[in-house]
């Protein structure tokens, strides 16, 4: 459980910790469900006070908070617990950067079932589930995604808004494909009062995007086109098309098919903005982008975390003259900017 010490003697500790790593997810899920981090932020800082506030047992709360002290999400002094900087920023529901809801998607029953059949996925070379063709609607999964994952978008959405020249407030027509919660397009609209967003996703998912557009006061510049990104009429003359976390679900021909549709929908001087996990050529770095490939093996028929060279090939085949790669601060994904 302590970090690897870097000594050369083989140690079973990391292997043991990996065998029980599921316990960490379950403990965090329990703590989030009971809203322990928020309760501590509100001043309930002993097991006794926390138990009273959350309707739990003092004994259970003591053991849970000691565990999160070991895991360095809390500190403990005599019997008082405090949030760390990380848990104060990201697990306390009063924090604007709170990410707690993400566990509902990241550790959803769907995701657990996919990973529970991982040996079978390795045999097949694709998910063992029935829901691996992501050109088809699996609305319950993506509504879940849209409801849970919006908090994670903030740094990348701001970065993308910058790429669209939002600060200059030029009239911009922006297509947001696989919009989900809608927060990428909505952030562009918030930063540029002359941007108009067209969001594409499955009908039930777009209801979440519409809620967010109202919540952030851009509903009058946010319209929707419900349906498959491979079939729905996009319209044309777009200045920008946003493709955030979509290509990794598909095989190469399917990615190219989508990108050809995008190319046709853009103005001549328009740009496609792709946000993706892009591992290096070695496919084992950087860690989060490289490891993401396994999530696609577990959950999709033929999805993957593609390298930059692979994206350049696909996007070139789809008609784009040039694609450049841009790291995004604070985010494991990168942006690919494609233009003529």
Q: Is 255 in the site for a copy of itself (CB under 8 A)?
A: no
Pairing, β 334-339 against β 172-177: unpaired
Q: Is 216 in the site for a copy of itself (CB under 8 A)?
A: no
Task: Given the residues 134, 181, 248, 249, select the one marked as catalytic.
Answer: 248
**Among positions 204, 291, 325, 337, the unique one binding a copy of itself when judged by CB under 8 A:** 291
Q: Is 240 in the site for a copy of itself (CB under 8 A)?
A: no
The sign one gets for the Cα dihedral 230, 231, 232, 237 is: positive
The 3-state DSSP class for residue 137 equals: coil
Q: Is 108 in the site for a copy of itself (CB under 8 A)?
A: no
In terms of DSSP H, where are the helices of the chain? 13-19, 21-33, 36-41, 47-54, 58-70, 85-90, 103-106, 109-116, 118-124, 139-148, 154-163, 183-191, 203-215, 252-265, 287-299, 308-317
Collect all residues with Cβ–Cβ distance below 8 Å to 6 and sequence separation of at least 6.
Answer: none
Separation CA 34–CA 306 (nearest Å):
38
Q: Is 121 in the site for a copy of itself (CB under 8 A)?
A: yes
Asked whether the beta carbons of 48 and 54 are under 8 A apart, the reply is no
In the complex, what is the shortest distance from the CB of residue 296 to a copy of itself, in angstroms, rounded to a whole number? Answer: 8
Please identify, using beta-carbon distances, which residue of 74 and 272 lies nearer to a copy of itself. 74
Tell me phi and psi for residue 285, to 5 degrees. -155, 155
* Binding piece for a copy of itself, criterion CB under 8 A, among 201-209, 233-241, 270-278, 279-287: 279-287
Chain positions 34 to 73 lying near a copy of itself, rule: CB under 8 A, are 34, 55-64, 66-67, 69-73
**Among positions 24, 42, 133, 140, the unique one binding a copy of itself when judged by CB under 8 A:** 24
**Among positions 91, 141, 175, 335, the unique one binding a copy of itself when judged by CB under 8 A:** 91
Separation CA 340–CA 330 (nearest Å):
29
Q: Is 321 in the site for a copy of itself (CB under 8 A)?
A: no
Separation CA 335–CA 340 (nearest Å):
17
Q: Is 328 in the site for a copy of itself (CB under 8 A)?
A: no
Dihedral angle of Cα 119, 122, 125, 131, to the nearest 10 degrees = 30
Q: Is 248 a catalytic residue?
A: yes
Q: Is 280 in the site for a copy of itself (CB under 8 A)?
A: no
CB atoms under 10 Å from CB of 76, counted, come to: 15
* Binding piece for a copy of itself, criterion CB under 8 A, among 196-204, 208-216, 238-246, 276-284: 276-284
**Among positions 130, 168, 231, 282, the unique one binding a copy of itself when judged by CB under 8 A:** 282
In the complex, what is the shortest distance from the CB of residue 275 to a copy of itself, in angstroms, rounded to a whole number? Answer: 16
Tell me phi and psi for residue 13, to 5 degrees. -60, -45
* Binding piece for a copy of itself, criterion CB under 8 A, among 83-91, 173-181, 207-215, 238-246: 83-91
Please identify, using beta-carbon distances, which residue of 204 and 294 lies nearer to a copy of itself. 294
Chain positions 123 to 182 lying near a copy of itself, rule: CB under 8 A, are 123-126, 152
Please identify, using beta-carbon distances, which residue of 153 and 323 lies nearer to a copy of itself. 153
Catalytic residues: 248
């Amino acid at each position: 459980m302590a970090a690897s010490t870097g000594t050369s003697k083989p140690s079973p500790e990391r292997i043991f910790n990996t065998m029980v790593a599921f316990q960490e997810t379950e403990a965090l899920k329990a703590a989030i469900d009971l809203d322990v981090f928020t309760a501590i932020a509100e001043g309930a800082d002993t097991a006794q006070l926390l138990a009273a506030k959350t309707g739990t047992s003092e004994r259970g709360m003591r053991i849970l908070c000691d565990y999160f002290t070991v895991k360095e999400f809390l500190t403990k002094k005599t019997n008082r617990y405090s949030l760390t900087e990380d848990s104060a920023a990201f697990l306390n529901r009063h924090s604007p950067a709170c990410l707690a809801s993400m566990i509902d998607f990241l550790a959803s029953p769907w995701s657990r079932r996919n990973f529970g059949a991982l040996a079978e996925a390795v045999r097949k070379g694709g998910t063992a589930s029935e829901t691996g063709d992501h050109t088809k609607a699996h609305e319950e999964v993506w509504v879940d995604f849209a409801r849970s994952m919006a908090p994670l978008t903030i740094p990348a959405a701001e970065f993308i808004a910058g790429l669209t020249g939002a600060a200059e407030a030029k009239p911009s027509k922006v297509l947001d494909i696989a919009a989900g919660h809608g927060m990428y397009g909505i952030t562009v609209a918030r930063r540029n009062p002359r941007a108009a967003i067209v969001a594409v996703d499955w009908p039930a998912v777009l209801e979440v995007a519409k809620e967010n557009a109202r919540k952030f006061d851009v509903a009058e510049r946010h319209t929707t086109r419900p349906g498959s990104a491979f079939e729905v009429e996009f319209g044309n003359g777009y200045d920008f098309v946003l493709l955030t976390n979509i290509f990794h679900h598909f095989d190469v021909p399917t990615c190219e098919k989508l990108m050809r549709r995008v190319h046709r929908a853009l103005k001549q001087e328009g740009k496609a903005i792709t946000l993706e996990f892009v591992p290096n050529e070695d496919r084992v770095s950087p860690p989060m982008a490289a490891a993401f490939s396994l999530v696609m093996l577990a959950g999709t028929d033929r999805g993957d975390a593609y390298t930059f060279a692979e994206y350049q090939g696909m996007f070139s085949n789809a008609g784009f003259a040039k694609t450049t790669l841009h790291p995004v601060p604070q985010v494991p994904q990168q942006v690919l900017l494609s233009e003529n």
